[in-house]
Amino acid sequence: MKKLMLMLTAVFAAKLLFSQGLTVPPNGGNKKAVVGERIGITDVSIHYDRPGVKGREGKIYGTSIVHYGYTDLGFGTSKAAPWRAGANENTTIEFTTDVKVEGNNLPAGKYALFIAMGADEATVIFSKNSSSWGSFFYDPKEDALKVKVKPVALAQSTEWLKYEFENETPNSAVVALSWEKVKVPFKVEVDLIKTQLESFRKELRSDKGFNADAWAQAAQFCVDNNTNLEEALQWSDYSINGVFVGQKTFVTLSTKASVLEKLGKQDEADAIMKEALPLSSEQDVHQYGRSLIARGKKEEALKVFKMNYDKHPNSFTTLMGLTRGYSANGDYKNALKYAKQAVAIAPTAQKGAVEEMIKKLEAGKDVN
């Protein structure tokens, strides 16, 4: 009997130890959600629970549902807690690189997101403690950043609280919380060039660095953004001469030439391009000609397009090259001549675009 009781006690203890709750919807009918966006190469992700208005219009803000400022919630250790900026457990926001929020530096990492609401001003809080439940255990000593923003009145009510990304640019976005007739926005910015260069340096030391084109790609980014040119020259040289990596191709050679040109070493750049062009494909030369137009080298671009046409006469690509080259130089008559030849042999998917170019040329407008 004693042995049986010991066995039953052990089984009961094991059940307590390993028992897990079953998967059910969140309390109160709130919805779990996750949203994210990549800004530059920085991933921003938000995990949150979505409460509903549920007929409480006009009774959300400045009440016990979303209190203004800080308050004692009657539970937990915090005697001055902000709003949890959602429902249930912590709302969290995570950044894979360093960012700026409303112009203030915030290191990469995962943060609890709280808001001290006000009718005319709100304080958005990023807490280093992202694993607690709601704001019941909020501690200002764990704040990584606090920024003040202006709530925005909405004409239409948002039933379920949501986070969205708005006003996106290559290096920024506005994160906006909307619920009922109030929106709380805050701007997130990244230093795209800095984070991109740091990423290149890391990736080029990995298996990706065994590809010559990867080194050329990093160097070309520097050329396109007129930055970090000395290191770009090292990268472009490694794409050509690196042990087990380097290859003399049109891409690697032309990239080094573009770096040298940016550095004011035009004679060296011209010499490398003479070496590069015989290694090029029809498409390589076409893209190179377009890049010359983008850099304002219109006459040189036309020469390149003519050379490509002589090597590959009457192809769609080279006819389009002459169209762009003559157009860039203001010779719309010749540009139109070659555009009409191109449209006759254009792939179905591109015929409409060429027809639009013809209309522009007939109107005396550049197609580039």
Is residue 16 a part of any domain in this protein? no
Structure tokens at 232: 């770009």
* pLDDT band per the 50, 70, 90 thresholds, residue 26: low
By DSSP bridging, strand 104-106 and strand 99-101 are antiparallel
Residue type, 41: I
- Our measurement of the distance from residue 59's CA atom to the centroid of its chain's CA atoms, rounded to an integer in Å, reads 37
pLDDT of the residue at 159? 95
Q: Is 15's pLDDT higher than 60?
A: no
Asked if residue 135 lies in contact with residue 114, where contact means CB atoms within 8 angstroms, the answer is yes
pTM, 2 dp? 0.77
Residues 354 and 234 placed together within one structural domain of the fold: yes
Is residue 1 a part of any domain in this protein? no
Residues 76 and 128 placed together within one structural domain of the fold: yes
Q: Is 8's pLDDT higher than 50?
A: no
Question: Residue 11: enclosing H or E segment and its boundaries?
Answer: helix 2-18
**Cα separation of 66 and 265, whole Å?**
63
Q: Is 7's pLDDT higher than 60?
A: no
Domain boundary pick from 190, 209, 242: 190
Range of the structural domain that residue 211 is part of: 193-362
* pLDDT band per the 50, 70, 90 thresholds, residue 22: confident
Residues 186 and 46 placed together within one structural domain of the fold: yes
Q: What is the DSSP string of 178-190?
A: EEEEEEEEEEEE-
Asked if residue 190 lies in contact with residue 99, where contact means CB atoms within 8 angstroms, the answer is yes
Domain boundary pick from 190, 214, 242: 190
Q: Provide the 3-class DSSP secondary structure of residue 68.
A: strand
Radius of gyration of the chain (CA): 30
Number of domains in the chain: 2
- For the four alpha carbons of 214, 220, 225 and 231, in that order, the dihedral sign comes to positive
Per residue in 44-81, pLDDT (tens digit) is: 999 999 999 999 999 999 999 999 999 999 999 999 99
Asked if residue 44 lies in contact with residue 168, where contact means CB atoms within 8 angstroms, the answer is no
* pLDDT band per the 50, 70, 90 thresholds, residue 30: confident
Residues 331 and 249 placed together within one structural domain of the fold: yes
Q: What are phi and psi of 31, to 5 degrees?
A: -105, 135
Q: Is 171's pLDDT higher than 80?
A: yes
